[in-house]
Amino acid sequence: MASIIAPRGTRDILPGESYKWSYVIKTAGEVMSDFAFNEIYIPIFEHTELFARGVGETSDIVEKEMYTFIDRGGRSITLRPEATAGVMRSALENNLCAQGNFAKLWSYGPMFRYERPQKGRYRQFYQIDAECLGIAGAEADIEIINLSLELFKRLGLKNLEVVINSVGCEKCRPVYREKLVEYFNQHKDELCETCLNRLERNPLRILDCKKENCGKVAENAPDIFNSLCDECKEHFKKVCAGLERLGFKYKLNKRLVRGLDYYTKTAFEILSGDLGAQNAVCGGGRYDNLAEAAGGSHLPGVGFACGLDRVVIVMEEQGCSFGKIPEPKIFVIAKNDDARENAQVITSKLRSEKIAAVCDIAGRSFKNQIKNANSYEYICKADEAGNLELVKNSDDVHENLTLDEIVGRLK
Ligand code: ATP
Ligand code: MG
């Protein structure tokens, strides 16, 4: 029988790698807490309708990337392709922003998209997600971008580029949309098949087509800045001014439109030069129309999603630190076979004193235990009578001590 392997686009994060992920998540938790964002756990699957409505029928995600199935109760269920719609659903359902309150929330976990797997692009991938709900003003956009940049700074990422745009709102985007359709209609023969389809359904998406020809056409397309209404213009100016005040460099990119339809006003991305084609480590923006699209009352929001897989790749490439690999401090060796049980009792007692300790549980000989133990900071040799000898590996000092004395020494 052929052995079973992991499904295409998924991967195992093995012990030699997992400490890096823990480090990034732990650092994210610290940054979130410094910014007063509260952690939220949301389901990994939701009703398909939430994403169809909240992410947008014409987005790549909903059109071709979702993992959708009918469950045993006959409901259409989708494995979440992103977190924002679920966080918004939860905030509405649990009244987190009732009476004009706002909520600053963060979360992390796996997302699922049926995509062509390649470096930095998987079918199960992980995101760190932050959302600020209930605030319409530019201060919230500034806070979100500040948060993402502080996270990357603490992780030690270098050579990042912040690109920012405004995608307008329900008042000014339809006008811009029309201008775009008119322009692209004149260049129909230069567009790829997908973009011809987008021309009908979602012409803004043509702007971020990665095909060379479409890119050239898009370069000369009407500029969204000329179509923004006064409110959107003002908002964008405030965001830019805020970023400057905080000392952040950014680039304007009028072709940054994001794949998701509920985005309004600010759209931003953080790019890394060390990622090749999959160069975005973080994408975000404002989504003032998501709550209503999901069937709730009006609730403005702004947030980001950071690709954990890609962050780890960039950190490896740039030689960033992942902190210390957690290792036991002491190896308790059984001097002979009669001392094995005693060694396990001593090890257990050390652990309940919160001292990271190991002993042999694989039946290895004294010689092999010693060989194995040399990489630990301390060795404790236990005999069958309960006598303990502590050895500090670095200076080769041997001492006969009681368990309490050893605990005191190691704490
Ligand atoms: P891309 O243009 O790379 O497909 P996207 O616009 O689809 O990105 P978002 O929906 O904005 O991505 O998700 C935010 C972040 O999640 C991305 O910037 C990226 O770091 C990460 N990401 C998205 N899709 C994947 C994937 N399939 N595998 C790994 N990371 C991903
Ligand atoms: Mg994508």
The residue type at 276: G
pLDDT above 70 (res 298): yes
Amino acid at 404: D
pTM over 0.85: yes
Q: What is the average per-residue pLDDT within 276-300?
A: 92
Residue 65: predicted pLDDT? 94
* pLDDT (0 to 100) of residue 263: 83
Task: Answer yes or no: is the C-beta of 281 below 6 A from any ligand 1 atom.
Answer: yes
CA 56 from chain center: how many Å? 21
Q: What is the pLDDT of residues 26-67, one digit of tens each?
A: 999 999 999 999 999 999 999 999 999 888 777 888 889 999
For the ranges 6-10, 264-268, 293-297, the lowest mean pLDDT is seen at: 293-297
Atom of ligand 1 lying closest to residue 208 CA: 2
Q: How many whole angstroms separate alpha carbon 358 and alpha carbon 329?
A: 8
- Residue 54: the pLDDT is 82
Q: Give the position, in ligand 1's atom list, of the atom nearest the Cα of 282.
A: 18
Radius of gyration of the chain (CA): 27
- Per residue in 127-162, pLDDT (tens digit) is 999 999 999 999 999 999 999 999 999 999 999 999
Is residue 210 scored above 90 in pLDDT? no
Average pLDDT over residues 192-207: 89
CA 73 to ligand 1 centroid distance, Å? 32
Ligand nearest to the CA of 208: 1
Q: State if residue 208 touches ligand 1 by the CB under 6 angstroms criterion.
A: no
**How many angstroms separate the CA atoms of 211 and 215, rounded?**
6
Task: Single out the residue of 150, 133, 127 nearest to residue 282, CA to CA.
Answer: 127
pLDDT digits (tens, 9 = 90+) for 335-385: 999 999 999 999 999 999 999 999 999 999 989 998 888 889 999 999 999
- Tokens 């398909």, residue located: 48
**What's the CA-to-centroid distance between 237 and ligand 1, angstroms?**
27
